[in-house]
Amino acid sequence: MNPQHSTRRNFVRRFGGTSSQFANLPPALVRLCVCPCVFTALVVHAAEPVEIGRRVQFFMDDHIVDNRWSLKPKTEEVVRAFHAPEKHAANPVIAGQGGYVSAVREPDTGLVRLWYQIAHWTGEAGKGADYAIAYAESKDGVTFERPEFNLVEWQGTKANNVVWRGPSGRRASGAQIVQAPERDKRGFRYLLTYHTGGAGKGMNGIRVVGSHDGIHWDAGSDSLITELHSDTINSIVHDGDRGQYVMFCRPKDRYLVGGATGNFLETGESRRIARMSGADLWKPWTGPPETILIPDELDMQRGFNRFYGMSARWHEGIYWGALLCFKLNTDITTELAWSRDGRRFERLPLRPKLLALGPDGAWDGGMVYGSADWVEMGDRWYLYYAGHDGPHETPHRTPGIGLATLRKEGFVSLRGPRGGGVVCTRLLRWPGGGLKVNADASKGEIRVRVSDEKRRPLDGFGYEDMETFTGDSTALEVEWRGKSLNELQGRAIRLEFHLRNADLFTFRAE
């Protein structure tokens, strides 16, 4: 057999798809991808036994996995499966308006609230624009109202849903609600970070402002974090483990300073993902942006050799990113990225789209700007995104805001084959309580057992002691006959999931 064909076949087996899909990948790249070390090198392993606490444990990487294997290794494997969010049939949920979007669902009322960027072009060929932050709300997350607040003038009238335009009164862009501990909110219920320009020296850059109701923003609280012209979404998240705020931005302090002149030898390229950090959300941050994510060979293969920005959030101890991949100077799509430490970000090997472009001519057929601000609606996560019907290179395009939904915690699963397979965790310190699993076994079955360091099953916690699960649940309570995992509180154990034609998304102690 041709060695190149054999290597490509191994690539398909490892990452899914068909041989024809990857026929144009360079042989050297295929060989690199098949190497087992390539996509595991960035996994950040904690010391065993792993202290999982009450956090949800995800499987987009092998951070918590000691081993996974098929019961028919010659023909099958336990593979990682990506589950793209489904675009809603009611899209666009907001038509004719839309840019970077940030979402919150109120825990007391269930109201879904959106803050999003709007723009008005002031010049030809995409040169010059005014920006503002607009607001909308919905009881069901699908049908939105845009109240007229009569607060801020926009295009000659105050009869609009604009709530903030920044200190210059003309440029507030890249809005994102910051989730911060109460001690850092200065009495405000909502904190908004945004970028502004045209406000004068010492005022331009990335700022934070507070509000008691999310509509009236307190100009007296408006504070400059960094005088950085990162003209994209600049997500600020609070890392509860490390006690710091982290912002994802562009390294515009040293690349493309003064604007794109076309002389890339001198200006460099700023459409990369960088990070900054600070202990205080309201005071200027010191130090330059640190570049952490640069397009690689797979991006180049598809022509996406720039990153437009990255919306981010910190959830269950993980940094989640909606990475905006940019094909100069046309398409923008969104991919999933994640990091265990806020510096080393990973993506799935075949780079599936978190949010893909719509069909040609569709309202979102030109660009899609995804957001990591999902909101939980029952057993579903709702993700809002900005769409445009035209490419980046022209201002003559119509925007909108769309909704995509997916299973709660459902970005990635480990999928057991028809013949069965096993996912064995690393050694865990069980914190007490029961085991809850997010899994879909509606076309197969799942069983779970508990074992020790050497994989010796614990008495009463074997596969035969659990009733086989053949359903679909985001919160399955795993039980063993006459036994409770709470008995094992403080012990070092392994969980072994036997999957037959089933998807395992997450698990947690509860």
Three-class secondary structure of residue 10 per DSSP = helix
Q: Tens digits of per-residue pLDDT, 416-457?
A: 999 999 999 999 999 999 999 999 999 999 999 999 999 999
**Pairing verdict, β 50-51 and 428-429:** parallel
> What is residue 396's predicted lDDT score, i.e. its pLDDT?
83
- Residue 100: pLDDT over 70: yes
Q: How far apart are alpha carbons 498 and 466 in whole angstroms?
A: 11
Average of pLDDT values for 315-334? 97
Whole-model pTM? 0.91
Q: How far apart are alpha carbons 304 and 323 in whole angstroms?
A: 12
CB atoms within 10 A of CB 365: 18
- Residue 43: pLDDT over 70: no
Top mean-pLDDT range of 24-33, 389-398, 408-417: 408-417
Contacting residues for 63 by C-beta, under 8 A, at least 6 apart: 43, 44, 45, 340
Reported as a pLDDT band with limits 50, 70 and 90, residue 44 is low
Average of pLDDT values for 66-90? 98
> What is residue 41's predicted lDDT score, i.e. its pLDDT?
38
> What is residue 260's predicted lDDT score, i.e. its pLDDT?
53
Reported as a pLDDT band with limits 50, 70 and 90, residue 121 is confident
Q: How far is CA 344 from the centre of its chain?
A: 14
Q: Facing residues of 329 across strands? A: none
- Provide the percentage of residues in the chain whose pLDDT is more than 70: 89
Residue 38 DSSP class: T
Q: How far apart are alpha carbons 33 and 15 in whole angstroms?
A: 9
Query: At which residue do the structure tokens 């064995």 appear?
Result: 424
Q: How far apart are alpha carbons 319 and 77 in whole angstroms?
A: 28
Q: Tens digits of per-residue pLDDT, 242-261?
A: 999 999 999 999 998 655 56
